[in-house]
Structure 1
Amino acid sequence: MNEQQSRIFDLFTHSLIHSFTHSIIRMEELLVKYVRNECSPEEEQWVIGWLQNPDNESRLRGLMRKQWSNPSVSGVESPDWQQMWMGIARQTKDLPMESEPPLYRTVWRQIARIAIWIGCIIAFGLGIRFLREAQLPADVIYQSGADQSMRVELTDHSSVILNKNSTLTVSSDWSGPNRSIWLDGEAIVDVAEQPIGFRLLIHTADHVVTEAQKARIFVARKDKKVRVVVEHGLANFVIHYSGMLGEMKKYALQRGGMAEYDEKSTQLIRRQVNPLTYTSWAQPE
């Protein structure tokens, strides 16, 4: 590059720097005039348009930082850039976004919201359940005599024949799919055909249940021992084991199938038997 070209380049560079510096000064002057409400309508629209451009926000924030870090020279009035920015943002409805909270706070807030919703749902369900149970009549208890059996008809068309010295408790709540009865002694339970998804639950201990949908079953509970024999149909012998895992085991029983469970030793024995050996004391249906 010769001396003349170098001189032309220096003049051109100086002109660009002067023009850029002049535009910055001009922009600062317009912003000051805008804050003082001294702009003409055309200048006001130009300033608002300049501020609405996302690319210019960083420049304005730079001026704000400059204002904060370098106080004005005494006697020279300078605009409050922060106040000006908030005022412009309110007018243009383009408020600066607040800084996002840390991730762990957001996660814990979501967990807290979910926990509150779950708690409300549980409380609402329990409230409905307690209210419903309060409106239900008491469970019905049947007790057979020492020298005779007793026949009990259930509302689902099932029937129970109690042997001597036996007790049957029938739940008053028969609106749901799990219809429950409790037996202490001996009985033959004729389970009527249940609707799809419905079951009759025969409780013979705190954690032993026999469930069936259509069957004739001999059920006995004496001296902490439970015995179930299926005369016809199908049934499930269910044991709920206590513990943290709440383990449950279910054993399917068909015609002639017997399950014997000792509550003390928790031993279960299953084998095939002749059902009439256990049902001969009752008259056939």
Structure 2
Amino acid sequence: MEELLVKYVRNECSPEEEQWVIGWLQNPDNESRLRGLMRKQWSNPSVAGVESPDWQRMWAGIARQTKDLPLEPEPPLYRTVWRQIARIAIWVGCIIIFGLSIRFLREAQLPADVIYQSGADQYMRVELTDHSAVILNKNSKLRVSSDWSGPNRSIWLDGEAVVLVAEQPIGYRLQIHTADHVVTEAQKARIYVNYQHNKVRVVVEQGQANFVIYFSGMLGEMKKYALKPGGMAEYDEKSTQLVRRQVKPQLYTFWARNE
């Protein structure tokens, strides 16, 4: 930068260099640096035979040239606001894209979900990695998510089962997906779950659970119903009708007693 200032004082700069120097000197943040160069010049005389710029004369010349330069008009307030909004939107978009990329990359590295299918004349007991267990009735299918690292551990049921939910860490839940928009979640419970012919039936035998319905056409609206021992919830996907009442859980779980 010092060499360019020397060229400017000697009128040896090209038009582009001259405009760059003037712009640099108009920046108040650079004034202290220029004054430092001037103090350096005054305290360290030039070596004999070496031409050095006269910083005091240069400062006076710069003051004369920049005095008459028109000030750059400030942009209207609405432009400044919209520029800030655009910058924020770009940053938010980049963060979202980065997060989605990490998620997709992670999911691509996960193994496939595990599927269990009980036979026409046999029950099946499936042990989960969190020490929970699922007892499948005949002709039932269970899909277990391979990703159990987060707070929501997910399984999908098609048929009839009794789910023994082991005690979960604080903030963690086991989610039992049945219909397209119905999830039963619990932290420690014994639950009867039946999903057949687009109808869901959930009965809590021990502990407590939440029966959650997601409405796809209502801006992601969600309704959650707490179920305690003896509480039953029945939901029809086609009619979207929900029925809740108290029952005897043993009438629904008797078949799984010896499993």
- TM-score w.r.t. the length of structure 1 is 0.67
Between the aligned partners of 2:146 and 2:61, the Cα distance in structure 1 is 68
Amino acid at match of 2:214: H
Do the aligned partners of residues 191 and 86 (structure 1) sit closer, same or farther apart at CA in structure 2, a change above 3 Å counting?
Answer: farther
Amino acid at match of 1:194: Q
Q: In the alignment, does 2:172 pair up with 1:198?
A: yes
Do the aligned partners of residues 85 and 138 (structure 1) sit closer, same or farther apart at CA in structure 2, a change above 3 Å counting?
Answer: farther
Number of residue equivalences: 200
TM superposition outliers: structure 1 runs of 4+ over 6 Å: 89-92
From 87, 109, 128, the equivalent of 2:62 is: 87
Residues 60-99 of structure 1 mapped to structure 2, 5 A cutoff: 87-88=62-63, 98-99=72-73
Q: In the alignment, does 2:149 pair up with 1:166?
A: no
Alignment partner, residue 138 of structure 1? 112
Amino acid at match of 2:63: I
**Contact 1:217 1:231 (8 Å CA) reproduced:** yes
Between the aligned partners of 2:70 and 2:225, the Cα distance in structure 1 is 66
Q: CA deviation at 1:98?
A: 3.3
Residues 110-259 of structure 1 mapped to structure 2, 5 A cutoff: 110-259=84-233
1:186-241 deviation line (CA, Å, top 9, x unaligned) = 00000000000000000001110000000000000011100000000010000001
Alignment partner, residue 73 of structure 1? none
SS in 2 for 1:196: coil
* Two-structure CA RMSD over aligned residues (Å): 2.2
Q: In the alignment, does 2:251 pair up with 1:277?
A: yes
Amino acid at match of 1:174: W
> Which protein is bigger by CA-based radius of gyration?
1
Between the aligned partners of 1:231 and 1:204, the Cα distance in structure 2 is 18
Between the aligned partners of 1:169 and 1:105, the Cα distance in structure 2 is 54
Amino acid at match of 1:149: Y
1:55-108 deviation line (CA, Å, top 9, x unaligned) = xxxxxxxxxxxxxxxxxxxxxxxxxxxxx999217899xx98632211111111
Amino acid at match of 2:100: L
Do the aligned partners of residues 89 and 108 (structure 1) sit closer, same or farther apart at CA in structure 2, a change above 3 Å counting?
Answer: farther
Do the aligned partners of residues 86 and 115 (structure 1) sit closer, same or farther apart at CA in structure 2, a change above 3 Å counting?
Answer: farther
Between the aligned partners of 1:229 and 1:111, the Cα distance in structure 2 is 50
Please list every run of 5 or more consecutive structure 2 residues that lacks an aligned counterpart in the other structure. Answer: 1-58
Structure number with the bigger relative contact order (C-alpha 8 A, sep ≥ 6) is 2
Q: CA deviation at 1:181?
A: 0.2
Do the aligned partners of residues 243 and 85 (structure 1) sit closer, same or farther apart at CA in structure 2, a change above 3 Å counting?
Answer: farther
Amino acid at match of 2:240: T
| Aligned-residue identity in percent | 80
- Return the structure number with greater helix share: 1
